[in-house]
Structure 1
Amino acid sequence: MTMSVLVLTGSASGIGAHMTGVFARRGDTVVATDVDLAALEKRAAEGAWGTNVRLARLDVREAAEWEAALDLAEREGGGLDVVMNIAGVLKPGWVPDLGPADVDFHLDVNVKGTVLGTRAAAARMIARGRGGHIVNIGSLASLAPVPGLSLYAASKFAVRGFTLAAAMELGRHDIAVTLVMPDAVQTPMLDLQVDHEEAAMTFSGPRALTVEDVERALLTEVLPKRPLEITLPLGRGMLARAANTAPAASRWLEPMLTKKGREAQERIKQGR
């Protein structure tokens, strides 16, 4: 198996932390990044990542910090094969309650961060002339409207539009750009939504995905096959695509899904 040089964002927790370990243990060189360097260093000190991981503070909103992280990947690994834009944020809230800082929070991290990372990685991959792969993490909210999470949905819709356009541009350079759109994943981002009634629809599925579910998709589908986009799981993905095709139909589905989600939230609270 050919080893790769990867840069991952959001490596201090959730999907990013899990995938950093997965890639490092299989022998890849991984530059693990996060805006919270102390949390990143603590995670690395736990020892599960091994010796193939390099750490870098990266605020994905800052172009200069992207360049520094990619410099490290090229210096330590001799090139750049894969960049995964995993870092993301979410804050539930009804539209009338949203403030300017909430707008900046979602759009700067989720959209601007993904755009800056894709742009910086693409430039280096083109210069190197050996192709590459950029993986952007979206959400089923990239396809389906989510009341109570309007800013998150807006940011993930934007990530999808940007990713699809970038994929068409960069394909001529043998650079694949893939959008991964999972349903809710059991991570700290999901935990913070339990106490917010605005986030009820997040909990309307049969179960939350695990980071292992995302791992399987990345290792068996995304990296070897380099698809344009995938949804996880298939059934909920089909429902989200239907909502994307006929948004008005969501008005009929929303009460049922919200009811299911609130019931799930209550079960989680009672089980604490």
Structure 2
Amino acid sequence: MKKKTIMGLISIVAIASAMMFAGCVEEEASVSTPTATPYPETTLPPTSTTTPLPTASPTPTDDLLKITEDDIKRANEAIESKNKELDAWSIPGVATFNLGQDSAQPEDIFVYTLIKYHHKTKTMPPASVVDTAIEKILGEYDLSSWKLSAIRSFWIDYSTANFNLDELGSEDKTIESFQWYLDVKFTERQKLINKRFEAFVTAEEMRQNAMQDWIEHERKIQDREEQARLERDCYQVLWDAEWAIQEVA
């Protein structure tokens, strides 16, 4: 993949990281506690001057939220591996199975960002935040509906799965989850292919039925023409016979 393309893919995760961060912080915001009102004529002791604790949270630009060129390389390797795995099920001349791509696409990097965020922070991005991010980040790419469906279907299963938090964080586990997403993406792609094939089969059946109707119609016309010819021949024989009788008489 060209460096310009790689950097372009890396750039799309900045907004995703920010949205994941903002969404998760909002989900975990603590509820404010009511302040007690002193009784009348009660004088409170002066508040001691203390240094407040820092309230700044990690920003979405921390290293753990960045997608690096190495991440994209691993994603590409996962796609290559999945294509080889699927191709083993292909039937030459009948069916070919693959992801329909050789490298990571914008939607793949988007999902990789979500997975990496979850694995590194051990915080699951809320589904509502993910839905919003899909519209804002991937909307400009004019992706096919089946690709967006793949993301949503995967995230429904992924976000409700039980994870051992102690196992999260390793590159192998991140790729394992990404491979899971690729399986869902392949399934959605096959659904589209199957629908197109079914439509083709239906259209072919309609064509063959129409052709058969036309052949039947032509056969009936030929039968009627043959019947008319036979009738003409019969009348001709009768006329010839009548003429012969008259000649003899």
TM range, normalised to the smaller chain?
under 0.3
Structure (1/2) with the larger helix percentage: 2
Tell me: higher relative CO, structure 1 or 2? Use CA pairs within 8 A at least 6 residues apart.
Answer: 2
Structure number with larger C-alpha Rg: 2
